[in-house]
Amino acid sequence: MGARGDLPHLSDAADRRGSSRLVTQARRLRGALAEEATEVAAA
């Protein structure tokens, strides 16, 4: 099982401008969680 529901702090970090490690990893994690949610919904 993965994370469920909205993660507002993750979205805040991912929506920041720039390319710091925090922003990059937040975007990567948000994308991975969104992909997992899509796969679960399709199953």
The domain ranges of the chain are 8-42
Question: At residue 15, what is the residue type?
Answer: D
Predicted confidence (pLDDT) at residue 41 exceeds the cutoff of 60: yes
- Give the global pTM: 0.78
With CA atoms as reference, report the closest residue to 24 among 13, 8, 12, 36.
13
pLDDT band at 15 (very low <50, low <70, confident <90, very high): very high
pLDDT of 35: 87
Predicted confidence (pLDDT) at residue 27 exceeds the cutoff of 60: yes
Q: Give the whole-angstrom CA distance, residue 13 versus residue 30.
A: 10
> CA angle 43-2-15, nearest 5°?
105
Do 20 and 36 meet the contact criterion of CB atoms below 8 Å apart? no
pLDDT band at 4 (very low <50, low <70, confident <90, very high): low
Q: Give the whole-angstrom CA distance, residue 37 versus residue 41.
A: 6
